Amino acid sequence: MPRSHYTHLGGHSNDQSSKAGVLLVNLGTPDAPTASAVRPYLAEFLGDPRVIEYPRWLWWLILHGVILRIRPARSAHAYARIWTSEGSPLRVGSEKLAAGLQEKLGQLCGEPVRVALAMRYGTPSVRTQIEQLQREGVRRLLVLPLYPQYSATSTGSVIDAVADALKQLRWPPELRIANDYHNDEGHIHALAQSIERWWSKHGRGEKLLLSFHGIPQRYVSAGDPYFDQCQATAQLLRTRLGLSETQLIVSFQSRVGREPWLQPYTDVTVPHLAKEGVKRLDVVCPGFAVDCLETLEEIAMQNRDFFIGAGGEDLRYIPALNDSPEQVSSLATLILKHTHGWLQPASVGTQAT
């Protein structure tokens, strides 16, 4: 008999009743803050054609001939600055969020709802988690990438990974994917509540800067909706917080290479504001569901130094939503919307609050 190319998962009975599950997907993290652990993580991340849209042969030479010889040690140093006794902040925070959502959905639906976590790069992978969910009898799967704003470099890459995993299965589950939630009412409300709660404890700075992760400008020119969705999130927050365009401003961080990325750049905007006389600057990163290297090291450490070095007194980073009650409730409501017909509240009128 010819060998089958499709996976049949042992232990799963086709007679089991269909169960719905949720797969959260975040970017990923190395397993340790060391160059040897960072190198394979960066190789997988930067080797993704969704992330770097260069000719493959040319990018392979650059990546393996230059970047992976230099960058792992630098990145490991940055990771070491934020690593905790529990491990990677992104992994720990994402795991707590998944656990909180599983508990919340169970309360709302009156029955257990399986919520699993995968990393797009690193472990646990999208493929292994989908296979595990199928072993558990999940036949209806909602994939929720933890990227509020859609970009081909992030959500698009998750969709690729899900497709690659499903095409290996003899009997893939019924599938739904949350493309984005940049303008979701519950999400905007959660962001605003988090900012207002932080202000009530620490006071309000002179300006609020929303720093989103950047992407190359040519990706947007080619049709990526990311820039527009970031601006939409910002405008909704302005309205919700009662701020003007000069009080709440937008910038883009984490650029690499020489080509133009989305502007204005965060590391240019921050010292510029200090030189203009802003003494206290509040920064929030609405594109990150969970705190990570880009928020804790790049913003709260690097850009804080840039701000103070240019004459500012204090840059205060407002944490991501993480596993806060606001994020758990807003995402639970979002999940129920996307799983209509699969998951239902235990009683009519029940809402995530």
What does 7-43 look like in DSSP terms, one character per residue? B--TT--TTSPPEEEEEEEEEE--SSSSHHHHHHHHH
Share of the chain above pLDDT 90, in %: 91
Per residue in 199-238, pLDDT (tens digit) is 999 999 999 999 999 999 999 999 999 999 999 999 999 9
**CA angle in degrees (0–180, nearest 5) for 254-37-39:** 55
DSSP state of 64: I
Which tokens sit at 158?
A: 């998750």
Q: Flag whether pLDDT at 351 surpasses 80.
A: no
- pLDDT, mean of residues 115-140: 96
The whole-model pTM stands at 0.94
d(CA 247, CA 249): 6
Q: Which of 164, 90, 150, 109 has the alpha carbon at shortest distance from 341?
A: 109
Site of tokens 């309360």? 107
Instruction: State the pLDDT at residue 16.
Output: 59
Per residue in 141-176, pLDDT (tens digit) is 999 999 999 999 999 999 999 999 999 999 999 999
Q: Which helix (H) or strand (E) holds 194?
A: helix 185-202
Instruction: State the pLDDT at residue 2.
Output: 52
d(CA 278, CA 271): 9
Q: Which of 248, 260, 123, 258 has the alpha carbon at shortest distance from 196?
A: 248
Q: Flag whether pLDDT at 62 surpasses 80.
A: yes
Per residue in 3-26, pLDDT (tens digit) is 555 666 555 555 556 799 999 999
Q: Which of 232, 234, 243, 233 has the alpha carbon at shortest distance from 199?
A: 243
Q: Which helix (H) or strand (E) holds 201?
A: helix 185-202
Q: How many CB atoms lie within 10 A of CB 318?
A: 22
